[in-house]
Homo-oligomer: A and B are copies of this chain.
């Protein structure tokens, strides 16, 4: 799946969609920060360099799709948060990007 262009009047995912989409990226937690629902996952690595390499690879993917996460890089882990600024919540795109991040992690971990 690809991200679709997102407008400020695009719908946030509904309860039914959440129930469909969340199991597909089950390692992601749905959190609410300042009233905005977000997807968050911590990816583990052996050191700082591993975490930074993942941040870069995911950053490149984000640029391609023009949909950008918050990437917290620390020693041994990168915490990724997806949400859609324009609609102040979760769009289908965020779930697409979460799945892409999972795939990238699997690929880099092999």
Contacts and interface: CB of A to CB of B under 8 A. Distances in A.
A18 interface: no
A75 B68 contact: yes
Interface residues of A, number: 15
A48 B73 CA distance: 15
A62 interface: yes
A56 interface: yes
B71 A73 contact: yes
Given A48-B63, A71-B72, A72-B72, 17 more contacts: A48-B68, A49-B63, A52-B55, A52-B56, A52-B59, A55-B55, A55-B73, A56-B56, A59-B73, A68-B75, A70-B72, A70-B73, A70-B74, A71-B73, A71-B74, A72-B73, A73-B73
